[in-house]
Chain A
Amino acid sequence: MTLSLVIAREILREASRRRLLLALLLLTLAVIGLTGWGFSRIPTLTVAGQPMPEAQVKATASQLLILVMFMFSFVLSLAAVFVAAPSISSEIESGIVLALLSRPISRREYAIGKWLGLVALVAIYASAAAAVELAVVGAVTGYVPPHPVEFVAFMVGEGVVILTLALALSTRLSAMVAGVISAVVFGMAWMAGVAGSIGAFFHNDALVRAETVSKLLLPTDGLWRGAVFSLEPTAVLAAAGSSAGFAANPFAALTPPPLPYLAWVAVWLVVVLGFGIWSLERREL
Chain B
Amino acid sequence: MTSTGEPAISTTGLTKQYGRIAALAGLDMEVPRGNLFGFLGPNGAGKTTAVKLLLGLARPTAGTASVLGATAGDRAARSRIGYLPELFRYQGWLTAREVLGLHCELARISGPRRAAEIDAALKTVGLEERAGSRVGTFSKGMQQRLGLGVALLGSPDLVLLDEPTSALDPVGRHDVRDILRSLRERGVTVFLNSHLLSEVEQVCDRVAVVDHGRVVAMGTLDELLGGDTVRVRVVALEQRDGLGRFGQIDDEGEWLVVRGIVADRVPELVAELVRLGGRVYAVEPRHESLEDRFLGLLGNP
Q: Which A residues are within 8 Å of any B CB, using their own CB?
A: 1, 3, 6, 10, 13-14, 17-18, 94-96, 98-106, 284-285
Contact = CB atoms under 8 A, between A and B. Distances in A.
A101 B103 CA distance: 10
Interface string B100-144: 001101111000000000000000000000000000000000000
Contacts of B105: 1, 3, 6
A99 B150 contact: yes
Contact of B102 (A6, A17, A101, A285): A6
B273 interface: no
A99 B57 contact: no
A102 B90 contact: no
B57 A98 contact: yes
Contacts of A98: 52, 57, 83, 85, 87
Given A6-B102, A6-B106, A17-B94, A101 B89 contact: no
A103 B57 contact: no
B174 interface: no
A285 B58 contact: yes
Given A101-B57, A104-B78, 4 more contacts: A6-B106, A94-B89, A98-B83, A104-B79
Contacts of B106: 3, 6, 100, 103-105
Name the residue among B76, B81, B105 with the largest chain A CB count within 10 angstroms.
B105
B85 to A, nearest CB: 4
7 contacts: A13-B94, A18-B93, A95-B87, A99-B83, A99-B150, A102-B55, A105-B106
B147 interface: yes
A96 B75 CA distance: 19
A99 B93 contact: no
Nearest to A18: B93
B82 to A, nearest CB: 8
B59 interface: yes
Contacts of A101: 57
B3 interface: no
Contacts of B59: 284
B20 to A, nearest CB: 16
B246 interface: no
B255 interface: no
Contact of A99 (B58, B75, B88, B108): B88
A95 to B, nearest CB: 3
A217 to B, nearest CB: 32
A117 to B, nearest CB: 13
B91 interface: yes
Nearest to B76: A104
A94 to B, nearest CB: 5
Contacts of A99: 83-85, 88-90, 103, 147, 150
A95 B85 contact: yes
Contact of A106 (B75, B84, B88): B75
A116 to B, nearest CB: 15
A104 B108 contact: yes
A83 to B, nearest CB: 14
A21 to B, nearest CB: 12
B289 to A, nearest CB: 33
A285 B103 contact: no
Interface in B52-102: 52, 55, 57-59, 75-76, 78-79, 81, 83-85, 87-91, 93-94, 102
Name the residue among A6, A95, A102 with the largest chain B CB count within 10 angstroms.
A102
Nearest to A17: B93
B24 to A, nearest CB: 13
A13 B99 CA distance: 12
A103 B75 CA distance: 8
A17 B135 CA distance: 12
Contacts of B81: 102
Contacts of A285: 52, 57-58
Contacts of B83: 98-99, 102
Contacts of B76: 104
A104 B91 contact: no
Contacts of B107: 103-104
Contact of B91 (A1, A10, A284): A10
A138 to B, nearest CB: 37
Contacts of A3: 105-106
Interface in B34-61: 52, 55, 57-59
Name the residue among A1, A3, A99 with the largest chain B CB count within 10 angstroms.
A99
Given A102-B83, A104-B106, A105-B106, A96 B91 contact: yes
A106 B75 CA distance: 8
Contact of B75 (A10, A95, A100, A104): A104
Contacts of A96: 89-91
A13 B93 contact: yes
Contacts of A18: 93
Contacts of A106: 75
A101 B55 CA distance: 9
A284 B81 CA distance: 20
A86 B78 CA distance: 26
Contacts of B93: 13-14, 17-18
